[in-house]
Amino acid sequence: MQIPSFPEANHPLVKSLFHQSDQELLSLFRRYSDQGKYFTVIFCRYSPIVYTLIQHSARSPVQADYLFALTWRHIYYELGGLYLTNPETGQEVLTLQNWLINMTAFCINEIKLPPTEAIHYSLKDTSPPLWCYIEQALDQIPPILRLIVLMAQTFHWSETRIAAYLQAEGEKISPAEVANFIQEGYRMLEDKLPADIRTIYLGEESI
């Protein structure tokens, strides 16, 4: 299995931070939680190591990609509480690389992967940092919109099928209304994404 390359590594916003140390990136990630570029730089810096460790443990490329994404999601949620230095002495007690290797080993051992045919994630379509921020944005939109967006995007259900499912659940929604809800859901989802993530991944002009 080949180690994937990620186009975001060449984005000016990401490249402008390559000179920052791990400690600096970690501090900026914690301080500016409304920005996604710091996590993206950490991802670009260490994704080859994480993927190399994972590809030896997965049975198929699809499972390897999915475990890679799940591992980075776990890293994303743990990173905010990570301190590499002793608060009293200021001495480094851990390197980010060692911590990431430990986190990857933990995910390899603890995460139970579904069969290949049950995995709907595509690494080519959604890079792990974008996936993390989309998940965070999904948590901030109304539940009915979140459900409709997931059925449309993840399972590729038609408006008719989504409407039939919702009607069976007691929601009186027509296929035409589902189509409107999908557009509204996408609009709200995009709005909830950090501006720099929209710039890096969706091609929006930075302000």
Q: What is the CATH number of the domain that holds 51?
A: 1.10.1740
Q: What is the mean pLDDT of residues 38-58?
A: 95
> Do 39 and 111 fall into the same domain?
yes
pLDDT in tens, 141-194: 999 999 999 999 888 899 999 999 999 999 999 999 999 999 999 999 999 999
Average pLDDT of span 8-15: 96
Structurally, the chain folds into a number of domains equal to 2
Span 92-145, pLDDT tens digits: 788 999 999 999 999 999 999 999 999 989 999 999 999 999 999 999 999 999
Q: Is the dihedral of CA 24, 71, 69, 195 positive or negative?
A: negative
113 and 181 part of one domain: no
pLDDT at 206: 59
Residue 117 and residue 19 share a domain: yes
pLDDT at 86 over 80: no
144 shares a domain with 104 = no
Question: What predicted TM-score, i.e. pTM, was given to this entire model?
Answer: 0.89
pLDDT of residue 62: 93
Contacts 24+ apart (CB under 8 A), 49-53: 49/97, 49/100, 49/101, 49/104, 50/100, 50/104, 51/3, 51/4, 52/3, 53/101, 53/104, 53/105, 53/108
Residue ending a domain, among 63, 87, 121, is 121
Residue 128 lies in a domain: no
pLDDT value at residue 207: 46
Within this chain, do residues 153 and 83 fall inside the same structural domain, yes or no? no
Query: Residue 182 sits in which domain range?
Result: 140-202
pLDDT at 1: 61
Backbone angles phi, psi at 112, to 5 degrees: -90, 115
When the pLDDT of each residue in the chain is averaged and rounded to a whole number, the result is: 93
Co-location of 14 and 113 in the same domain: yes
- Is the same domain home to 41 and 106? yes
Residues 116 and 146 in one domain: no
Chain centroid offset of residue 4 CA? 16
In the chain, what percentage of residues exceed pLDDT 90? 84
Shared-domain flag, residues 56 and 15: yes
